[in-house]
Amino acid sequence: MDTGTDLLIGIIIAVVMLLVGLGVGLAVGRRSSASRGGDSKGRDRRVDLAGGAQDLTPMTSADEDSGQETVVPPKPCVAIIVNPSKPDAAGLEATAGAVCRQEGWDAPIMLETEVEDPGCTMARQALEQQVDLVVAAGGDGTVRAVAEVLAGTGVPMGVVPMGTGNLLARNLDIVLGRPEWALRIALWGEDTAVDVAHAQIEPGGKDHAFMVMAGLGFDAAVMADTDSDLKSKVGWLAYLEAGSRKLVGTRTEVRVTVDGGEPFTEKIRSVVAGNCGKLQGGITLLPEAELDDGILDVIVIAPKNAVQWIGVAASVLGRNKRKGLHTEIHRCKEIVIESEEEIEVQLDGDAVGSSTYLAMQVEEHALTMRTATRQQKRAIRAEGWPIPVG
């Protein structure tokens, strides 16, 4: 094989890595343990889910000098919804208990996700227990499920990133690889109002929330076609194998309606809507996307052949804001995409099947996220947060 061919193959592989960066590490491995949501061992602020809420009246103690009772307010309480399939999950309860003691919080309520339920039921259980904070500990799939339930409730949400991609955490500058530091950010970080995006994959169908990116076409097909056994062995490299098989393909004609305007037709390979814009490796797919701007940024990707993917890569790496080679970005409140043939759909890296319809909207400032304060960022940079012992 000549050098020119080698170079072209290398460029195509780089393009695949770029575009499937949407799904790289968005660990969608479904959870394998049963939920422990009803376990009340050692926890004072529980709800008996079968019989109703326990009494959370503040404790009182007698003042020996005055003979009066002093009200002792209850400690704040956090529910941590953890994906038990993650490598860091095993030691999280002990770490969380130590951090909560140090920070003056009650013992954490630990709830595990299940294979069939990535966190929605557990988030509802947490709300029923009237906790002060809910933390999603897992990948972007766990985060998405918890955020879907917490949106609009006013209850703040923290993130302990334990996936491979952790794209929401990256966009919020939440520390990776140190669960104890991420927990401290969740416990006493600052409240930040962020947008929640919504999608429906059939007209009038069920509403699905997403926090990072959703779309249809090439990226969703890669995620749907990635071999799970290979992924467990080689991690995100499995997406490259699937992407290389999907790179060459035909475009699909779709009808696009932006903010209720005049529909237009487009032949596409992929359409991706982002609530935020950063991928792994410092790549920014959507340069103007912000989590709190009340806007969806939607990129339409339409190369005709493998060579034109090079232009797509150049446009993305060059951070073209609106129009690049075989790409175009729309900024909107809502978008509807209709096709005559079924196309694969993904939400935050979860393949959700194929459809001829995808509608997406943004709900401004619907969720309160805990993000790092300046003081916390300084402590992180200085690595000055030792884990408490005992």
What does the pLDDT look like over 299-327, one tens digit per residue? 999 999 988 989 998 999 888 888 899 99
Of 320 and 244, the one with more pLDDT = 320
Q: How buried is 154 (Cβ within 10 angstroms: 0-12 exposed, 13-18 middle, 19+ buried)?
A: exposed
Within 26-166, residue ranges assigned H as helices are 92-103, 120-128, 140-150
Is the predicted pLDDT of residue 188 greater than 80, yes or no? yes
Residues in contact with 134: Cβ distance below 8 Å, sequence separation at least 6, in sequence order: 78, 79, 80, 81, 123, 126, 127, 146, 150, 155, 156, 157, 158
Q: Phi and psi (nearest 5°) for 93?
A: -60, -45
Contact criterion met (CB below 8 Å) for 209 and 143: no
Please state the pTM of the whole predicted model: 0.79
Position 35 pLDDT exceeds 80: no
Letter string b/e over residues 190-208, b meaning 16 or more CB atoms within 10 A of that residue's CB: eebebbbbbbbbeeeeeeb
pLDDT tens-digit profile of 23-34? 443 333 333 333
Around 334, how many Cα atoms within 13 Å sit in the side-chain half-sphere? 12
Identify the DSSP state of 74.
P
Residue 22: pLDDT over 50: no
- pLDDT, tens digit (0-9, with 9 covering 90-100), for 130-139: 999 999 999 9
Instruction: Report pLDDT for 233.
Output: 60
Q: What is the model's pLDDT at position 159?
A: 98
Identify the pLDDT of residue 278.
92
SS3 123: helix
Q: What is the pLDDT of residue 236?
A: 55
Average pLDDT for the chain: 82
The dihedrals phi and psi of 260, each to the nearest 5 degrees, come to 70, 10
pLDDT above 80: residue 242: no
- Residue 305 to residues 220, 267, 309, 311, 312, Cα–Cα distance (Å): 18, 12, 7, 11, 11
The answer to whether residues 141 and 26 touch, using CB atoms and an 8 Å cutoff, is yes
CA-CA distance, 108 to 93, in Å (whole number)?
8
**pLDDT for residue 111 is more than 50:** yes
pLDDT in tens, 285-303: 999 999 999 999 999 999 9
